[in-house]
Amino acid sequence: MNNPVLEFVHRGDIVSLSNVPPTRTLLQVLRDDLGLTASKEGCNEGDCGACTVVLGEPDGLGGLKYSAVNSCIRLAHAIHGMVLWTAQDLSAADGTLHPVQQALLDNHASQCGFCTPGFAMSLFGMYQNHVCQGRTISRNLAQEALSGNLCRCTGYRPILDAAQHMAKQPPQSVNEADLLSKLELIKSNIRGLEANFSYKTPTRLADLLALRAAHPQAQIVAGGTDVVLWINKLHKDFAQVLDTTRVAELREIRTEAQALHIGAAVTLTDAFAALTAERSQLHSFVTRFAGLPVRNAGTLGGNVANGSPIGDAMPLLIALRARVVLMSVRGTREMALESLYTGYRQNVLAADEVLTRIVVPRPQAGEFLRVYKVSKRLEDDISAVCLALQLRLQDGQVMDAAIGVGGVAATPARACQTEAALRGQVWTRTLVEQAMATLRNEFQPISDMRASSSYRSQVLGHLLQRFWLESQGQAEVSLATLSLEGLAS
């Protein structure tokens, strides 16, 4: 297989690299090939943030969109045609510190320094997306943006202080016009879709489907936040990679009268923004989905197709009655999202098919929606249990119910028995007590390092109890306040 030339902009210049294998990560290229060692290898799985870099790509409005991502779980070829910044690129040529660096220094926000480059890059992303746009960085915004970066020395208080003090430093701007002109030069050097290329990056849906039909053995990558873990941790190797993230049709979000159509290559950050724009109650949940660098790289379609039983997006989408669209050169088919899965990380996708779109119904009158994530850590952690519930209530009666569950079966699941027990009934305390028992008995979860089977079953009932209490106007109910035996009096 021939490896296509990898080109990106770094420090104002176009970098061209040949013979980069399809499974080589961006972090490996930075540290081993280019000698840019400020980006650190910590966990090598996207959890610690020490390897964070910032990528820039055209925003469609004449400027750049900036995204902090984990370079350890980003394939190198996935940054073709983008602008790259590492922690070594922030200070000016004369040594003047960038506002991000000065704020970290002034607030004593670094001790051992190993994690600091990652924090600096997440702060740089914030600086470009907020400070340079005249927007204030609140404490909550800073905490959400830094949730994917771990520090065990300084603690977060001085780092959060630094985030809020960046705007007080003398401003520095990026010459976006020059960078965009360089990106246009790269774009004009078309890499092509040669059959013997090891890394294929189609930009049109028709090309993607044709390539999938011709190369069903190729590994599909839709962000890489899980596939690259197979490379880093399981030492898997792929002779061919088919990257879906450049396909224009798959990057679209389209709002129609009845539904929101989210392309499979839309990042989790943008997909969640579209969902929370119409359902603001989802905000706290989606910010607990991994960390921002993972959400900036991962895609909604990749998360859905991956089908992990502890993937947080699927229970929510099931509760929203989402449908998925599968396409191949043979045609198109559509189905309920929960019907996609046949077993643990197994699905109905044919060898020549690609998931292209997720269709999410828009809110209806009387809709009451909540989604709960139970994990050992508040942020940047994997769920032990995830429960999403949507009820449509009218005059105190349950007109419809949809419940998605994660962490209790081999696949993301729909609680059909519990839905049936609720549908058409009067929404009362007694009904909820009965439904709690039904929900606990509907699944037989396993015990693992995250939680025991009995804990998961108990929590399911407690979360339904919490849902009831919140429907009665009791906000921010915690699991600790819930009765182990039933509804508190």
Classify 368-481 by CATH class.
Answer: alpha beta
Classify 6-176 by CATH class.
Answer: alpha beta
Q: Are 64 and 56 in contact (CB under 8 A)?
A: yes
What is the rounded CA–CA span in Å between residue 247 and residue 238? 21
Domain boundaries, the chain: 6-176, 199-361, 368-481
Tokens 């035996």 correspond to what residue? 485
Please give the structure tokens belonging to residue 332.
């198109």
Q: Is residue 438 within a helix (H) or strand (E), and if so which, with residue range?
A: helix 429-442
Which runs of consecutive H residues, i.e. helices, occur in 108-218? 116-129, 139-145, 156-165, 176-188, 205-214
CA angle 104, 105, 110 (to 5 degrees): 70
Please give the structure tokens belonging to residue 117.
């480059």
Assess whether pLDDT exceeds 70 at residue 36. yes
Question: Per residue in 325-380, pLDDT tens?
Answer: 999 999 999 999 999 999 999 999 999 999 999 999 999 999 999 999 999 988 88
Q: Following CA atoms 262, 268, 271, 277 in sequence, which dihedral angle do they give, to the nearest 10 degrees?
A: 170
The pLDDT of residue 489 is: 28
Query: Which of 85, 5, 82, 75 has the alpha carbon at shortest distance from 39?
Result: 85
Classify 199-361 by CATH class.
Answer: alpha beta
Question: Per residue in 74-100, pLDDT tens?
Answer: 999 999 999 999 999 999 989 999 999
Query: Which of 52, 28, 41 has the alpha carbon at shortest distance from 149?
Result: 52
Assess whether pLDDT exceeds 60 at residue 216. yes
State how far the alpha carbon of 185 is from the alpha carbons of 7, 13, 375, in Å. Answer: 10, 11, 46
Question: Per residue in 245-300, pLDDT tens?
Answer: 999 999 999 999 999 999 999 999 999 999 999 999 999 999 999 999 999 999 99
Sorting pLDDT into bands at 50, 70 and 90, what band is 188? Answer: confident
The pLDDT of residue 474 is: 79
- What distance separates the 2 farthest-apart alpha carbons in the chain? 72
